[in-house]
Amino acid sequence: MNPIDTQNKQIVIILVVALTIIAAVKIQESYASVLSSSSASPASFGDITLTQPKMVSDDGHELNTVKIYQSVGISSVLTNHAPSEKKFTYIVQVLNKKMQAEHLEGLSASMLSGQSFSCSQSWIPKEPGQYTIQIFVWQSLGSPIVVTNVIKTTITVSV
């Protein structure tokens, strides 16, 4: 296969994932007015709940500060409250101060009924400054149906 064809396919895949995330955020924003009047927690509106993300070191210890070129795990706990197994995709997006995507990564797994699952995606910041972290949980990449609210938090990376 021609290297240019491979590169073009990779670009198309990245664009499809980015557009899917944008569409999911817009759909969730439309759900927000419905959810704000319910008793649902901020990180769930269905069978799966999601905790606020924590920044952790490679060995799982919570970080109080984040420095450039330091490997940072963006970690949340998901819990399946459904009476059956649930599949999910955990996606982390890091936006810089211009709200441009610096990092986008995810993982797919499944949880049994009543099971909790700690998810973490690693990121290495290369510039100091303020970043917005967005956490998305979907049924899968192939079926980008939102299963929790998007969680947003900000962190400051120092030298």
Mean pLDDT of the chain: 81
Give me the sheet containing 101-111, strands edge to edge.
66-67, 151-158, 129-138, 86-95, 101-111
Span 58-87, average pLDDT: 94
CA gap 21, 32 in Å, rounded = 16
What confidence category does residue 143 fall into, taking pLDDT thresholds of 50, 70 and 90?
confident
Domain at 3-158, CATH homologous superfamily: Immunoglobulins (2.60.40.10)
Q: How many other C-beta atoms can be found within 10 angstroms of the C-beta atom of residue 48?
A: 20
Domain borders along the chain are: 3-158
CA gap 129, 149 in Å, rounded = 26
